[in-house]
């Protein structure tokens, strides 16, 4: 059946979500916006939407091939894709293989320090509160998830890390850390959703440690499009 784009459901910082004629399918359009520090730094970069859409689609397809179910259905155009509708769980699940970013600042550990084992941390997805780091007890106080759902998300996230690390390793990119979002589908099952791109991951080129992710924008240390294009070319050729 042909899927038709209907009214706008939600507009976020980098994506617009539309309903479709199918109740359980959403239409996503990537924008050229880039934001950092909870929207304090903001720009339009022509060409960014295409790269985010293409990279995220490619990664979700590769995850699917490796048995990691996710919301991605198909790419529609350079900047649009279809996804399964889920109710997003208000958590940003961060997995870290190497210390960087907020963890380095918060704990005073040098950026680049390799963690003996990957670690997970949770942020409460709430712009007004600035997405604070939260504990497992807080997740229960806020009634976001039950114990068994938290365990399931932890297990899935570490598994996704292993698969993603392989995908990036082959492309000579080090997966430093990344953020995942999960949702509940119509059956109440937990499904990987949102996007996986250089906006949501820290990606360092193997050997040189050249930054190939949004840190080039956050820290003004390079050209975002050049970095994202490198990621896309490296992933695509493998
Ligand atoms: P952090 O160093 O700011 O905690 O971020 C860790 C990783 O998670 C990094 O790859 C960026 C990603 N991330 C997002 O994509 N969105 C967010 O809101 C947060 C907090 C992190
Ligand atoms: N939530 C932040 C944002 O405004 C994350 C970041 O700084 O990348 O995009």
Q: What is the mean pLDDT of the chain?
A: 97
Instruction: Report the residue among 12, 36, 43 best suited for mutation to probe ligand 2: largest number of ligand atoms under 8 A from its CB.
Output: 36
pLDDT, tens digit (0-9, with 9 covering 90-100), for 36-56 = 998 899 999 999 999 999 999
Specify the ligand 1 atom closest to the Cα of 213: 10
Query: In whole angstroms, what is the distance from residue 86 CA to residue 149 CA?
Result: 15
pLDDT, tens digit (0-9, with 9 covering 90-100), for 61-113 = 999 999 999 999 999 999 999 999 999 999 999 999 999 999 999 999 999 99
224 CA → ligand 2 middle, Å: 15
Closest CA to 238 of 207, 202, 213, 206: 206
Specify the ligand 2 atom closest to the Cα of 37: 7
pLDDT, tens digit (0-9, with 9 covering 90-100), for 133-162 = 999 999 999 999 999 999 999 999 999 999
Query: In whole angstroms, what is the distance from residue 162 CA to residue 144 CA?
Result: 26
- pTM of the predicted protein model: 0.96
Q: Which residue has the tokens 């292993």?
A: 162
| Ligand 2, CB within 6 Å, residue ranges | 35-39, 131, 214
């Amino acid at each position: 059946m042909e899927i038709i784009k209907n009214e706008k459901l939600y507009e976020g910082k980098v994506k617009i979500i539309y309903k479709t004629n199918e109740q359980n399918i959403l239409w996503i359009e990537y924008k050229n916006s880039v934001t950092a520090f909870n929207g304090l730094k903001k720009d339009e970069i022509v060409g960014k939407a295409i790269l985010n859409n293409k990279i995220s689609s490619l990664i979700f397809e590769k995850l699917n091939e490796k048995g990691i179910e996710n919301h991605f259905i198909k790419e529609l155009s350079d900047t649009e894709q279809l996804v399964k509708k889920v109710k997003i769980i208000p958590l940003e699940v961060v997995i870290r293989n190497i210390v960087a970013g907020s963890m380095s600042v918060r704990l005073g550990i040098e950026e680049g320090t390799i963690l003996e084992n990957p670690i997970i941390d949770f942020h409460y997805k709430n712009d007004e509160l600035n997405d604070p780091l939260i504990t497992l007890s807080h997740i229960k106080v806020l009634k976001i998830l039950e114990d068994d759902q938290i365990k399931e998300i932890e297990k899935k996230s570490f598994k996704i890390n292993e698969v993603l690390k392989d995908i990036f390793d082959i492309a000579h990119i080090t997966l430093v850390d990344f953020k995942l979002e999960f949702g509940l589908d119509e059956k109440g099952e937990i499904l990987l959703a949102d996007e996986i791109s250089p906006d949501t991951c820290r990606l360092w080129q193997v050997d040189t440690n050249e930054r190939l992710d949004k840190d080039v924008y956050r820290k003004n240390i390079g050209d975002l499009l050049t970095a994202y294009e490198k990621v896309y070319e490296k992933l695509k050729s493998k």
